[in-house]
Amino acid sequence: MGYLYNTPEQEREMLDVIGCDNIEQLLDQVPSDLQLKGKLDLPEPMTELELQDHLTRLAARNHCDRVCFRGGGAYDHFVPAVVDEIAGRGEFYTAYTPYQPEASQGSLQAFFEYQSLICALTGFDVSNASLYEGGTAVSEAAFMAMRVTRRDGKILLSEGVHPEFRQVVETYTRELDTEVITIPAVNGVTDLSRLKEVIDDQVACVVFQQPNFFGCIEPGEEICEIARKHGALSVVSFDPLSLGVLKRPADYGADIGVAEGQSLGIPLQFGGPYLGILACRDEFVRKMPGRLISLAKDRDGKQCYVLGLQTREQHIRRDKATSNICTNQGLLALRATVYLSLMGPEGLREAATLSCQKAHYAADRLQEVDGLKLAFDGPFFKEFTLSYSGDADELVKRAADAGFDIGPSLKHFPGAPESSHDSVLIAVTETRSKDQIDALVSALKE
Amino acid sequence: MGYLYNTPEQEREMLDVIGCDNIEQLLDQVPSDLQLKGKLDLPEPMTELELQDHLTRLAARNHCDRVCFRGGGAYDHFVPAVVDEIAGRGEFYTAYTPYQPEASQGSLQAFFEYQSLICALTGFDVSNASLYEGGTAVSEAAFMAMRVTRRDGKILLSEGVHPEFRQVVETYTRELDTEVITIPAVNGVTDLSRLKEVIDDQVACVVFQQPNFFGCIEPGEEICEIARKHGALSVVSFDPLSLGVLKRPADYGADIGVAEGQSLGIPLQFGGPYLGILACRDEFVRKMPGRLISLAKDRDGKQCYVLGLQTREQHIRRDKATSNICTNQGLLALRATVYLSLMGPEGLREAATLSCQKAHYAADRLQEVDGLKLAFDGPFFKEFTLSYSGDADELVKRAADAGFDIGPSLKHFPGAPESSHDSVLIAVTETRSKDQIDALVSALKE
Amino acid sequence: LATAPIFELSKKGRRAATLPKCDVPTVELSDLLLEDVLATSPPPLPELSEGDVVRHFVNLSTLNMCVDTHFYPLGSCTMKYNPKRHERLARLHGIGDLHPYSRVEDSQGMLQILYELQEMLGEIAGLPAVSLQPAAGAQGELAALHVASAYFADRKESRTKVVFPSSAHGTNPASAALAGFECIQLPPSSNGLVDVEALKNAVDEQTAVFMVTNPNTLGLFEKDIAKISSILHDVGGLVYIDGANMNAILGITRPGDFGGDMMHYNVHKTFTGPHGAGGPGAGPIAVRSFLADYLPGPIVTKTEKDGQPYFELSVPPKSIGRMRSFFGNVGILLRGYFYLRTLGSDGLRKVSEHAILNANYLRTRLEELMPVPNADRCMHEFVASAKKLKDEKGITAMDIAKRLLDYGFHAPTVYFPLVVPEAMMIEPTETESKETLDAFFETFKQIISEESERLHEAPESTSIRRPDEVSAARNPVLSWTACVKD
Amino acid sequence: LATAPIFELSKKGRRAATLPKCDVPTVELSDLLLEDVLATSPPPLPELSEGDVVRHFVNLSTLNMCVDTHFYPLGSCTMKYNPKRHERLARLHGIGDLHPYSRVEDSQGMLQILYELQEMLGEIAGLPAVSLQPAAGAQGELAALHVASAYFADRKESRTKVVFPSSAHGTNPASAALAGFECIQLPPSSNGLVDVEALKNAVDEQTAVFMVTNPNTLGLFEKDIAKISSILHDVGGLVYIDGANMNAILGITRPGDFGGDMMHYNVHKTFTGPHGAGGPGAGPIAVRSFLADYLPGPIVTKTEKDGQPYFELSVPPKSIGRMRSFFGNVGILLRGYFYLRTLGSDGLRKVSEHAILNANYLRTRLEELMPVPNADRCMHEFVASAKKLKDEKGITAMDIAKRLLDYGFHAPTVYFPLVVPEAMMIEPTETESKETLDAFFETFKQIISEESERLHEAPESTSIRRPDEVSAARNPVLSWTACVKD
């Protein structure tokens, strides 16, 4: 099939106007020795019906029917139908960057509301209009901290930060002289004494995650305090849904908050597109990467919305831009906006509370199973690390065979400490029921 | 959960304005002895998440994963994604009857286009904006024929008309003196000699189906001719998709064409809502039931669309209306409109041709199976009747156990002739592949 | 360009849909089908590209006002919010794609849903026997009237008349006539309610059914409904409740408890089946037990199999027959089921309480501007009269309705019911907030302060201005071909 | 009302979402989590009803122009029709709900798709090694520049410079700077193409990469690209092809065949991933075999298991590392996969042929009205200049752009590339018909005949008029709280 609009007759008419005999003549612009001889070697085309059959068959080879207790940074939270309905409107998903504000007030206002909701959620003064996802958000925050502090010597990353986020920082900084230092986790949380030892006046920022990759609650306030004392910024990678019950990053002293926003109404879709959140205090705004939407007035004095502070961006500043990112994750920011609007304070509190209560029930019950115990003593939110007396992958497989997805096993993350190789993550969201938790426990007891 | 908009505080403010202490006082309008004591006995409410889990469980108890060769008036034709996208727009599905044309040009134009497309499809001059479904469309056509011919003595229905459509006519006419006479089918098609015997000048119309319920092609032109000779109208219930290859009803002389429009982009959804199509020649327009959209001019002379010929309808004519139907099947008419716009002449021809070719391949191959043979000799389109040497239901069950839905068995239709009790319908649409047909044959051979 | 008639967008040779190549051995169609039934060319449908189809219909959609975009207080139509979750769930695999002739053992999930819906609708009505078959309210009326006929025929009673008040929906007499009854309309009453004395005089042993909407089309509860029912029952007749206004009484009072013998629901009004720009609806009926045997079928019955509940389809023993093919408008019934399962009894009662609260609030405020005849309270809707404005300033109900469109409000129902001059029938529903009602009131106030000349010209800002409906009725153009001919 | 800022629609105590009751034994949160990490109250999000949320966002959506509603010839952005079937398929159960850490054995369908996509992208590029990881074109650039660094580091070469023409997209220098390179911009050339002599002078053994868009941002094919590549290769540098304009050359010529060593795709441009009002995109990169080991990972590899193809994830041996968490922007990649599978090689070539046909047709017609500097042919887009109009009549490119909105056309890209004064960069794409292009031309003609005063005031008919962007930049208000404070 194809998507051609002009009929052969129209093609003829158009070529006449152009003054060509055929389309081949138009292709003369490409030197003939560079033109492809023959055809691309691609599979035969399919019609819509054939494609749908093909996809249905492939989809059946992915296993999504198990009860999901899987975590590691992407979660099976509930996505209300309204989110899909709004994000499914062509007016949003087939528009582009709002270069013409007069024809884009829908997106612009939605993104302004996104920024405002993220500010309300985090306590920060300002949020950008989104970044790619959590890992790049951490990197962008680290670069931003270097600009703010004018320090590019060191970045400290807690081992509690998602290992893939840390890998992204490693990649982004690979051509810089900046030293990226990992502060180990002890008993599942950032080792504060090690942090205090390492930190000095070359450190641009201290990055930690709350709750961290192991599910544990970090001593956030103390980490921020330590950073502040040394003139470094504190960057926290938070779980947005957890803010239904946990203190907001700005309220415990963080300078920059970043997040993977997938839990705010975004489907799992094998890892992306997701949503990178970045918010901070007012004073850093001109050092912020990414797009910003600003309130403005039109010629008649009517309130409206425009792309703001574009002088930070690469189409104006080119190699001096705050970042090379040139879009936001518009459709995902829209999903988060609709999600947060639907949830409101009470809905978010309930979703967070349910996730937390069910996770604790699951943790209690799972420890009844021989060979399973909580890897760490400290408090956790909706996810926890379970250590197993045998091979962690074998545990995941046993669960899978019984109809449950758990994990991932920690040993699959590069640089995972040896001590974590017997461990798996278990995440419990508001979508899980007591019956499902009990059934998982029973299955693992067998 | 619920859908309340006013907060308790607003409720208070509103009651103050009304001059009531509480909502109970507003309910005083209902005499207290008529008020319900206690609560309705309904299941406990569910949240969206719970409802989705509940429905997912119930859906799993319906078997829809088999390869579908099922027919009998509802077919597994392909529904292009564009149809769902358009019909899923709130602007269409949350609007109502276009009483205010200035605020409803979207629906009005779409329905005008529906009428125009049905005219192009059938060859008739005029189509209404749709009726409930195929069975009531047949009844409405019969009533219309009585008004046109001023005859209410007899209606002749071919046995080839869907038995449920015939039942609907029986119900609609039960309080009238009109005699509903069934003309039997012989070798799967209307018995013309019997028809000629029965028809007289009291007959308002002769109703037949093309292709008929057994899948067979009727001698449509001859039936229309016989009706015309006796001053009766010919009413044909056609398969709209078949008109990709078959002659149009108006072109072979039918006076009124009606149809079940499900094959035009409407999902199966256990039988409804579907689409009743009714079209006819210009001269009958004022006797037509149902809504009609007309082209008009607005005050500035701009072309627009309005509800037309409303004087036929029940909100003006009340008990003298042409019908009691007071809506159309707007959203389904929209689906058909989008479907036909996408298919165009060539697409419709291809879909019809593929269905026809595959049905014939399937019929040939199925007759390789011991005990299976075509019940009738004549030509068929996409569906055919297979007679079986054993119990028809047992054949359906064998197919089901092997992963195929066939049928229905004819014996389940009230009034089915004894001779059909060993028979099942097999329908093959463009969505079936050779592999699936071959697999069905193999399964039944075992 | 995009909203030009779709036939004008056509260009010979363009294609949107493409179908797979044929994978079975092919035969000439003329060998499969007789030459004389084959068309010589496919039907002259327009030829379009896929993107043009999308752009055309998306642009058309934006010419509509709808509940998703605007306050839509169209009286008698209950334009409430249609939950998006219902749309998602109705499409579920196993639900949206179930064939109507699926075997009973293959449809247990669906049959359970439909059985539970029957039970819930019976409970809400106080009328235990339910048929889900009718495709719309009007078909529900017709079905119930046939049930009444069959019942009386069974009792060898010859009853030929159906009586209804003058404020009745037009479908009531239309359905009665279609079912072969003689229609008797009561004279208008002074207080907007059924005149009990007039009714007494109108009914006798020839009366089959009295059809009444309660609350009625003025938004008033027929307080004498118990007495009315007795009058009918005393002459051996039946009382039919038109359920169009059920949104006012859910969990507060029940048709079966106030004397109704039969009723229909409008699932698309009361239970959020979306209105679909005019349909589909669903019009299930509920009746007293003694009428159960006459219901149209199939209906769902519950039995047991291997100790588990098992659902079957059955036709009542003296059924009037089918009203339509297949089971019913299942897609719409499902949305009603979803709604009822999410609300429960408390939630359902709250729906009506807040529908009444909103209507009374708006009524009280609007009464400052326009009289609302007949009572100082209403149920879920009310009918204001622009007669005084017309007499004094020349502003008609239609003028106000049209001008409301300019301000971003859909118009109320106008000129119905016929018993109120310059009627404006306003039904806010429970899914609107005080803020919206206040904004509507302020707009109303603004409008009636405007120059009447401007109002006669309204609307100004819609995609078209007032159409000339008279000449369209005189000279209807009903299809593209007809239009091109002209 | 509905489009008021969402915080203004809030009313304390309103609820949209409701969550289930807790079905596990509950414990005080302060017993589960330390008191000092708990918030004393939930975040101050607005409180809304569900219907108000829907009405708000549906109304907002109608304030956008988009491909589904309007011709959107935004140059460099390839605003082509986004097939609806892709949206349906991307949501399929088993596709849309697959967890990123699904085990490899549980993701074979998805991995097969992604593997096939890698293969197809490699074939189209003529560069066999592909990583699907980058989240957008700009991230693809960055990834490729890191690949180049790693490659040179491996070869112990110290190369610090990235060179690009003055017409380059702003992301090119921004990415190069972020990857630690020094940016060297070539001076503007007289014919819109890379000045080969200037390039020769600019490159040396310090040059790591030359970044070039081909066709370039003027819509011209760099006819000397083979020579350009040789120049780079002669000094040991690499050629990077910015794939933003791939829509012009699909199946006609391949970056790998004309000398490119690395490139990125914009799946949301070339392969119909919808633009989402600014994202998400996907920016997979393709490189020559000798660079494969440095690609970011994971990538999908194909092996065998039990005689069947089996797909696995692996990280290239000398990988630069991850560009992001998880696999990539799979949702967008899927749409690219669907597109390629439906088009095949002939269909794909037709895409570019018709993109070129449409651009040249519109170019030829518009040239009557405005000069199109630099050549008498273009590839898939062209850049007209309003300079003459500005000089003669005071009409700027911006005026025309704004006025087009009034006539129902989205504006072209204006004032880019910087090398053309009063630039209007027009890319019709192949998914528009001659009728649309003709209507656009007629409108253009109409506009330049209008009074310049009126054009300065345009647009007139949009929901807002021209915003005061200067004061917004001086005094940005970036959140509701900030706005309320003001």
Query: pLDDT digits over C270-329, tens only?
Result: 999 999 998 999 999 999 999 999 999 999 999 999 999 999 999 999 999 999 999 999
The verdict on A172 and A270 lying in the same domain is: yes
- Which residues belong to CATH 3.90.1150.10 in chain D? 347-470
- Which residues belong to CATH 3.90.1150.10 in chain C? 349-470
Strands B67-68 and B404-405: parallel
Flag whether residue C280 sits within 8 Å of chain B, measured between CB atoms. Answer: yes
The verdict on B54 and B145 lying in the same domain is: no
Identify the domain boundary among A321, A339, A357. Answer: A339
What's the number of domains chain A is made of? 2
Q: Quick check: C342 and B51 CB within 8 A?
A: yes
Indicate whether A49 belongs to any domain: no
Residue B349's CATH number: 3.90.1150.10
Q: Quick check: B433 and A49 CB within 8 A?
A: no
Residue A216 is classified by DSSP as B
Identify the domain boundary among A279, A308, A339. Answer: A339
From chain D, pick out residues whose CB is under 8 angstroms from the CB of C432. 51
Chains that touch C (3 or more CB pairs under 8 A): A, B, D
Given a contact cutoff of 8 angstroms between Cβ atoms, the answer to whether A203 and A153 are in contact is yes
Q: What is the pLDDT of residue D486?
A: 53
Distance in angstroms (rounded) separating the CA atoms of residues C334 and B62: 15
Calculate how close chain B gets to A97, using CA atoms only, in Å.
Answer: 23
- Which residues belong to CATH 3.40.640.10 in chain D? 87-344
pLDDT tier for residue A326 given thresholds of 50, 70 and 90: confident
Q: B82 pLDDT exceeds 80?
A: yes
Output the tens digit of pLDDT for each of chain D's 486 residues: 799 999 999 999 999 999 999 999 999 999 999 889 999 999 999 999 999 999 999 999 999 999 999 999 999 999 999 999 999 999 999 999 999 999 999 999 999 999 999 999 999 999 999 999 999 999 999 999 999 999 999 999 999 999 999 888 889 999 999 999 999 999 988 889 999 999 999 999 999 999 999 999 999 999 999 999 999 999 999 999 999 999 999 999 999 999 999 999 999 999 999 999 999 999 999 999 999 999 999 999 999 999 999 999 999 999 999 999 999 999 999 999 999 999 999 999 999 999 999 999 999 999 999 999 987 899 999 999 999 999 999 999 999 999 999 999 999 999 988 889 999 999 999 999 999 999 999 999 999 999 999 999 999 999 999 999 888 888 899 999 877 765
Flag whether residue B34 sits within 8 Å of chain C, measured between CB atoms. Answer: yes
Calculate how close chain D gets to A234, using CA atoms only, in Å.
Answer: 17
Task: List % helix, strand, coil for chain D (3-state, nearest 5).
Answer: 40, 15, 45
CA A253 to chain CA mean position, Å: 22
Q: Quick check: D51 and B3 CB within 8 A?
A: yes
The verdict on B54 and B101 lying in the same domain is: no
Q: What is the pLDDT of residue B2?
A: 81
The verdict on A395 and A301 lying in the same domain is: no
The verdict on B172 and B310 lying in the same domain is: yes
Q: What is the pLDDT of residue B199?
A: 98
Indicate whether A179 belongs to any domain: yes
Query: Which B-chain residues 186-205 have CB contacts (< 8 A) with chain C?
Result: none
Q: Quick check: B30 and C274 CB within 8 A?
A: no
Calculate how close chain A gets to D449, using CA atoms only, in Å.
Answer: 22
From chain B, pick out residues whose CB is under 8 angstroms from the CB of C37. 217, 220, 246-247, 252, 379
Q: Quick check: B53 and A88 CB within 8 A?
A: no
Q: What is the pLDDT of residue C188?
A: 86
Query: Which of A306-320, A324-338, C26-40 is predicted with the least confidence, judged by mean pLDDT?
Result: A306-320
Flag whether residue A36 sits within 8 Å of chain B, measured between CB atoms. Answer: no
Q: What is the pLDDT of residue C481?
A: 84
Distance in angstroms (rounded) separating the CA atoms of residues D126 and D256: 4
In chain B, the N- to C-terminal Cα span, in Å, equals 52
Indicate whether A216 belongs to any domain: yes
Of C57, C323, C354, nearest to B110 by CB-CB distance is C57
- pLDDT (average), residues C426-450: 97
The verdict on B120 and B228 lying in the same domain is: yes
Tens of pLDDT, residues A214-261: 999 999 999 999 999 999 999 999 999 999 999 999 999 999 999 999
Flag whether residue D335 sits within 8 Å of chain B, measured between CB atoms. Answer: no
Indicate whether B43 belongs to any domain: no
Range of the domain at B31: 8-35+49-60
**Token duo for residue B235:** 């009413």
Give the right CATH number for D347-470 from 3.20.20.150, 3.40.50.2020, 3.40.50.2300, 3.90.1150.10. 3.90.1150.10
The verdict on B264 and B193 lying in the same domain is: yes
Strands A383-388 and A372-374: antiparallel
From chain D, pick out residues whose CB is under 8 angstroms from the CB of B50. 20
Of D7, D45, D82, nearest to A345 by CB-CB distance is D45
Q: Quick check: B294 and C33 CB within 8 A?
A: no
- pLDDT (average), residues A194-218: 97
For D407, name the nearest residue in chain C, comparing CA atoms only: C1
CATH H-level superfamily of C349-470: Aspartate Aminotransferase, domain 1 (3.90.1150.10)
Chains that touch B (3 or more CB pairs under 8 A): A, C, D
For B91, name the nearest residue in chain A, comparing CA atoms only: A89
Indicate whether B441 belongs to any domain: yes
Q: What is the pLDDT of residue C177?
A: 93
Based on its alpha-carbon atoms, the radius of gyration of chain A, rounded to whole angstroms, reads 25
Flag whether residue C87 sits within 8 Å of chain A, measured between CB atoms. Answer: yes
The verdict on B428 and B328 lying in the same domain is: no
- pLDDT (average), residues B112-136: 97
Residue B89's CATH number: 3.40.640.10
Flag whether residue C32 sits within 8 Å of chain A, measured between CB atoms. Answer: no
CB neighbours of residue D142 within 10 Å: 30
Distance in angstroms (rounded) separating the CA atoms of residues B206 and B149: 12
Q: Quick check: B53 and A433 CB within 8 A?
A: yes
Flag whether residue C84 sits within 8 Å of chain D, measured between CB atoms. Answer: yes
The verdict on A118 and A163 lying in the same domain is: yes
Flag whether residue C88 sits within 8 Å of chain A, measured between CB atoms. Answer: yes
pLDDT tier for residue B419 given thresholds of 50, 70 and 90: confident
For D50, name the nearest residue in chain C, comparing CA atoms only: C83
**Token duo for residue A34:** 């560079």
ipTM for the predicted complex comes to: 0.97
Q: What is the pLDDT of residue B326?
A: 82
Flag whether residue C93 sits within 8 Å of chain A, measured between CB atoms. Answer: no
Of D18, D50, D84, nearest to B85 by CB-CB distance is D84
pLDDT tier for residue B124 given thresholds of 50, 70 and 90: very high
Q: B415 pLDDT exceeds 80?
A: no
Residue A312 is classified by DSSP as G
Q: Cα–Cα distances in Å, from D27 out to A359, A375, C446, D283?
A: 12, 21, 56, 47
Q: What is the pLDDT of residue B232?
A: 98
pLDDT tier for residue C486 given thresholds of 50, 70 and 90: low
Calculate how close chain B gets to A45, using CA atoms only, in Å.
Answer: 17
Flag whether residue D56 sits within 8 Å of chain B, measured between CB atoms. Answer: no
**Token duo for residue D138:** 């700009």
Q: What is the pLDDT of residue C101?
A: 97
With H, G, I as helix, E, B as strand and everything else as coil, classify residue D18.
Answer: coil
With H, G, I as helix, E, B as strand and everything else as coil, classify residue D214.
Answer: coil
Indicate whether A143 belongs to any domain: yes
Output phi, psi for A388, to 5 deg. Answer: -125, 145
Flag whether residue C246 sits within 8 Å of chain B, measured between CB atoms. Answer: no
Identify the domain boundary among A287, A317, A339. Answer: A339
Q: A23 pLDDT exceeds 80?
A: yes
Calculate ∠ Cα A178-A182-A186, nearest 5°.
165
Query: Which of A159-173, B195-209, B311-325, D325-339 is predicted with the least confidence, judged by mean pLDDT?
Result: B311-325
Q: Does domain D87-344 have CATH number 3.40.1710.10?
A: no
Indicate whether A4 belongs to any domain: no
Flag whether residue B211 sits within 8 Å of chain C, measured between CB atoms. Answer: no
From chain A, pick out residues whose CB is under 8 angstroms from the CB of D109. 57-62
- pLDDT (average), residues B286-310: 93
With H, G, I as helix, E, B as strand and everything else as coil, classify residue A256.
Answer: strand
Q: B251 pLDDT exceeds 90?
A: yes
pLDDT tier for residue B41 given thresholds of 50, 70 and 90: very high
Q: Which of B233, B221, B220, B75 is nearest to B161 (CA)?
A: B220
* 3-state DSSP of chain C: CCCCCHHHHCCCCCCCCCCCCCCCCCCCHHHHCCHHHECCCCCCCCCCCHHHHHHHHHHHHCCECCCCCCECCECCCCCCCCCHHHHHHHCCCCCCCCCCCCCHHHEHHHHHHHHHHHHHHHHHHCCCEEECCCCCHHHHHHHHHHHHHHHHHHCCCCCCEEEECCCCCCHHHHHHHHCCCEEEECCCCCCCCCCHHHHHHHCCCCEEEEEEECCCCCCCCCCCHHHHHHHHHHCCCEEEEEECCHHHCCCCECCCCCCCCEEEECHHHHCCCCCCCCCCCCCCEEECHHHHHHCCCCEEEEEEECCEEEEEEECCCCCCCCCCCCCCCHHHHHHHHHHHHHHHHHHHHHHHHHHHHHHHHHHHHHCCCCCCCCCCCCCCCEEEECHHHHHHHCCCHHHHHHHHHHCCECCCEECCCCCCCCEEEECCCCCCCHHHHHHHHHHHHHHHCCCHHHHHHCCCCCCCCCECHHHHHHCCECCHHHHHHC
Q: Quick check: B81 and D88 CB within 8 A?
A: yes
Tokens 């939605």 -> residue: A110
